Chain A
Amino acid sequence: GGVPVWLRKRLRALCNSGATKRPHFESSWYGPINGVSYTVFTVKDGFIIKPQAKFRDKVSPPSSVIPGRSNSVSSNTSNMSTSSYNVEARPRTEPGPEADILEPDFVICIAGSSLTGDKIVYIIEIKRGDEDAFKASEQITHYVKRAVSTGAMISTGIVGLLVLGSETFRI
């Protein structure tokens, strides 16, 4: 499927590296997995791959907004920040760090010229094979749930991939 032989071999080598030759860092997987992702989900076909993508939490407009007063609503909501998945998030003008940002290793999206219209196709989290599988599965499930809550997906839904060393789990 267009994935070069050397890259297939490299992935195979990573999978077969075992406990002793296993890469020290999960980042050793990033390049090869990014390579495979971009080979299949090409820019030409309308996809984009986001490394360390951010899933921001949905927030309601400021509490100072009084329901029923449309002028007040519009002036306050215009200050809200909109994510690339069209989620109303905390405005940048609010002081302090934004709470609860999730950051999966990669997100594969259907993109477009709009800054707020990305649709999530895959969420990929990569861990070394010796890491806690249960914790990792909880983490990716949390990411998928947050992604689903954005509604930014096509009818075929969102798939989470947990790469745990030589094994990949589909969520």
Chain B
Amino acid sequence: IQCFLDRKEEIMKVMPV
């Protein structure tokens, strides 16, 4: 679960809105 949360945070930073 922590892995998922960390990766989501990382993705949201680079993802175009």
The answer to whether A and B come from one shared complex is yes
Contacts of B14 in A (CB 8 A): 154-156
Closest B residue by C-beta to A37: B4
**A-contact bits for B1-16, CB 8 A (1 contact / 0 none):** 1111101101110110
**B-contact bits for A34-61, CB 8 A (1 contact / 0 none):** 0011001100011000000000000000
Interface on chain B toward A: helix, strand, loop, or mixed SS? helix
**B-contact bits for A153-171, CB 8 A (1 contact / 0 none):** 0111001000000000010
Contacts of B12 in A (CB 8 A): 45
Count the B residues whose beta carbon is within 8 Å of the partner chain — how many? Answer: 12
Q: Decide yes or no whether A121 CB sits under 8 A from chain B.
A: yes
Q: Decide yes or no whether A144 CB sits under 8 A from chain B.
A: no
B7 → chain A closest CB, angstroms: 7
Indicate if the CB atoms of A40 and B11 lie closer than 8 Å: no
Contacts of B2 in A (CB 8 A): 1
List 14 contacting pairs A-B, 8 Å CB cutoff, sorted by A. Answer: A1-B2, A1-B4, A3-B1, A36-B1, A40-B4, A40-B5, A45-B12, A110-B11, A122-B7, A154-B15, A155-B14, A156-B7, A156-B11, A159-B7
Residues in B lying within 8 Å of A, measured CB to CB: 1-5, 7-8, 10-12, 14-15
